[in-house]
Structure formats: C-alpha cells, structure tokens
Amino acid sequence: MTPSQTTGRCTLVGAGPGDPELLTLKALKAIEAATVLLVDDLVSDAILALAPPGARVVYVGKRGGCRSTAQADIEALMVEAVRAGETVVRLKGGDPFIFGRGGEEVQHLRAIGIEPQVVNGITAGLAGITALGAPLTHRRHAQGVIFITGHNQPASDATDWPLLGATARDARLTLVIYMGIASCAHIQQGLLAALPAHTPAAVIQHASLPHQRHAVTTLGALQETIEREGLASPSVIVIGDVVRGVTAVAQGATA
C-alpha cells in the first residue's frame, strides 16, 4: 500500500501522566478529532472523557507485569483502522517515545506506507518529581539525567547497575527508573556497589493524579520503604541529590 492509497490517518498521542490539564493543546485537538482511539491502561478516565461521543474506544492495555494486548495485534488494529478511513489516535500514557513503544509502531506504519504523526506528552519521570517540588536537574546537584527502564526486554542484556551507578556518581546525574518496582531489590543492590547508601531517593506512584502516593527515602532503604509503604506499579523511582529539593508541603512523604 502506498501513502496515496491511505484514506485515514494515525496520530500517536502522549496522554501525559494522567492529569488532563497537563495535555498539550495539540494532543487535545487530536483526541477531539478522533473517530477511533486505541488506548493504553495508564490513560486516565478524565482524558478519555475528552474524546467525541461517537468515537470508538478500544482498550489495548500495556502495563509491565500484567496481561497485555500483543504489540503485533495493536499494530494490526492501527493499520486496519487507517485503511478503513478512520482518524486513529493511539493514546499512550506519558510520552510515546519514552518507554512507550511508539518507535516500534511508527516504524511498522512507515514500512507499509502510512506516515503517522506523533504528539509528545509529559513523561511520568518528569511529572512525578515535579509534583514533589523538586527538579530533575539542578546546577548544584545534577548536570544531567538518565531515563532507564528497570524492566529489560526478554533475551536482552541485563542492565549493568553498578556501572550505571558509577556513571551517575562521576558525572553527577539523576537516575529516573521506570518499571522498576518488581526488580527494585536487584537494582538497589547493583547501585549500592557505586553509590552511598545515604543517596536520596523518591518513589512516586500514579504521578499527577488525585490518588498519587509517594515516599522520600534513601537508596539504602529503598526496597524496605517500598514494602512498608505498599507502593506499587505504576511508579517511577528517582535517585540523586536533586531529591533533597522535595518540598515540605508535598503530602505523604516519609523520611
């Protein structure tokens, strides 16, 4: 199929961390124009409420550690809808190109002659720490930031957490770990090979939503804190001296 034969169109939209007020104007316009939305689990009901009344909503849940629609099936649904002349919005939590598999979907669509648009969204790693009043970078504490997944693709090389910790230490970088709750004990052990136990850390669950929960702790007490506070996915873990900037007004913080 060539691009000229395509009657519909497809837009990958970042829904952000969940608060509809954090959507971009471009994302809102795309959602309001959609005739069909293929929606991830982490997209909030408040955002789905912005879709037109007649739009078809198809849930294609993608959440680490849970049963999900196969990626190949999602891509097939996207193609089928575009070829049927639909205005398709692939609505993804956070940003499509930050651990959202948006790159795979764009690559697949382009390979068969469909050129999608991509609308960025605020990623949870930024929204989470911002909700606590702290930055990801601060010239006194961090010269950069690393976004990394704690959930490796099957058969891929495991992350070298001691090496990553040493890099963060030597280059003064903030670590933002997505999908790291299930493997937190392993991550913690690896990072402690290079970073001191007193390194500040924060865990933010359901960033930006009314039911957001979080804990502020240290790297040495990270796993213990997660278990004690009952924190679970979806959460982001932020490690580094920037966590010292968490404001006293942030609710639910632990020492």
pLDDT single digits (tens) 206-249 = 999 999 999 999 999 999 999 999 999 999 999 999 999 996 44
Does the structural domain 124-245 have CATH classification 3.30.950.10?
Answer: yes
DSSP 50-83: TS-TT-EEEE----TTS----HHHHHHHHHHHHH
Residues marked as catalytic: 40, 62, 179
Q: How far is the CA of 32 from the CAs of 11, 26, 57, 68, in angstroms?
A: 12, 10, 13, 26
Express as a percent the part of the chain with pLDDT over 90: 85
Check residue 251 and give its pLDDT. Answer: 42
Q: Tell me: the pLDDT tens digits for 57-113?
A: 999 976 554 556 899 999 999 999 999 999 999 999 999 999 989 999 999 999 999
**Predicted confidence (pLDDT) per residue in 39-52, tens digit:** 998 899 999 999 99
Domain ranges of the chain: 3-119, 124-245
**Average pLDDT across the chain, whole number:** 91
Domain 3-119 matching CATH 3.30.2130.10: the answer reads no
* The domains spanning 3-119 and 124-245 adopt the same CATH topology: no
